[in-house]
């Protein structure tokens, strides 16, 4: 696959086939992604590869916390506490595109909740990747980790796999660290569903829009 095709056609996949991904293939994806750049070659990422019964256990624990109304306690704030334009409009358009594709009405709260709860099981993917970073590191290393995470998504496409990066999987990091026996010194950035996409599912039949280049650039010469 051409790099430009991998970038342009990548999308957050919210439905996966019931088809396992081999350990070798997961390793191949990460072997490719590890060539991401990082400041002074610090390579600040740590990846937990979660499958099988452990994946099910993590998903059930997170879903129960959400269902019980437990307050999310992320290691950092992903979204602003007060969202303003143009971000609020983009957020609403993103949600509308998904629910419209699934045929879920705006006032159908129960179906919206059910769709959201799929987050915690990686939308049925056979693999969940969880990305951690050492607490002693600063924002620059988080940027580096972001480049690595993007590499994972693009590399996955090169191996006929699809992904969905998930902030929702980082809502209750203490629970995940406890289940996986990961020390508190590792901060959870996000999770990612990984697997073979069900391209025929309605949730795959839409694309979110992107701003044209001229809307986010200024040229200086």
Contacts of 30 (CB under 8 A, 6+ apart): 47, 152, 155
φ, ψ for residue 23 (rounded to 5)? -60, -35
pTM of the model: 0.95
Strand partners of residue 165: 192
Per-residue 3-state assignment (H helix, E strand, C coil) for 132-185? EEECCCCHHHHHHHHHHHHHHHHHHHHCCCEEEEECHHHCCHHHHHHHHCCCCC
In angstroms, the CA 26 to CA 104 distance is 34
Would you state the pLDDT for residue 106?
85
Would you state the pLDDT for residue 205?
87
In angstroms, the CA 117 to CA 171 distance is 13
Would you state the pLDDT for residue 141?
98
Check residue 142 and give left, alpha or beta (phi > 0: left; psi -120 to 50: alpha): alpha
Q: Give residue limits of the domains in the chain.
A: 3-76+119-209
Question: Residue with structure tokens 């580096």?
Answer: 144
Assigned CATH topology for domain 3-76+119-209: NADH Oxidase (3.40.109)
Check residue 25 and give left, alpha or beta (phi > 0: left; psi -120 to 50: alpha): alpha
Is the distance from CB of 5 to CB of 193 less than 8 angstroms? no
In angstroms, the CA 51 to CA 108 distance is 32
* Per-position pLDDT tens, the chain of length 221: 899 999 999 999 999 999 999 999 999 999 999 999 999 999 999 999 999 999 999 999 999 999 999 999 999 999 998 999 999 999 999 999 999 999 998 888 999 999 999 999 999 999 999 999 999 999 999 999 999 999 999 999 999 999 999 999 999 999 999 999 999 999 999 999 999 999 999 989 889 999 999 999 999 99
φ, ψ for residue 104 (rounded to 5)? -100, 120
Is the distance from CB of 65 to CB of 175 less than 8 angstroms? yes
Taking the CA atoms of the chain, what radius of gyration do you get in angstroms? 18
């Amino acid at each position: 696959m051409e790099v430009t095709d991998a970038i342009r056609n990548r999308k957050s996949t919210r439905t996966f086939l019931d088809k396992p991904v081999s350990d070798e293939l997961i390793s191949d994806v990460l072997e490719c992604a590890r060539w991401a750049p990082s400041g002074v070659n610090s390579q600040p990422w740590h990846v937990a590869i979660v499958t099988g019964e452990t994946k099910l256990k993590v998903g059930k624990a997170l879903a129960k916390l959400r269902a019980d109304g437990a307050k999310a306690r992320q290691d950092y704030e992903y979204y602003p506490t007060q969202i303003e334009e143009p971000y609020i409009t983009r957020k609403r358009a993103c949600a509308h595109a998904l629910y419209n594709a699934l045929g879920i009405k705006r006032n159908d709260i129960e179906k919206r909740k059910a769709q959201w709860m799929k987050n915690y099981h990686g939308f049925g993917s056979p693999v969940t990747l969880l990305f951690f970073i050492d607490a002693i590191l600063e924002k620059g290393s988080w940027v580096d980790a972001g480049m690595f995470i993007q590499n994972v998504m693009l590399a996955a496409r090169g191996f006929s796999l699809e992904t969905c990066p998930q902030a929702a999987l980082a809502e209750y990091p203490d629970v995940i660290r406890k289940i996986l026996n990961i020390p508190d010194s590792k901060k959870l950035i996000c999770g990612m569903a990984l697997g073979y996409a069900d391209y025929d599912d309605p949730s795959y039949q839409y694309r979110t829009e992107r701003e044209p280049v001229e809307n986010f650039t200024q040229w200086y010469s």
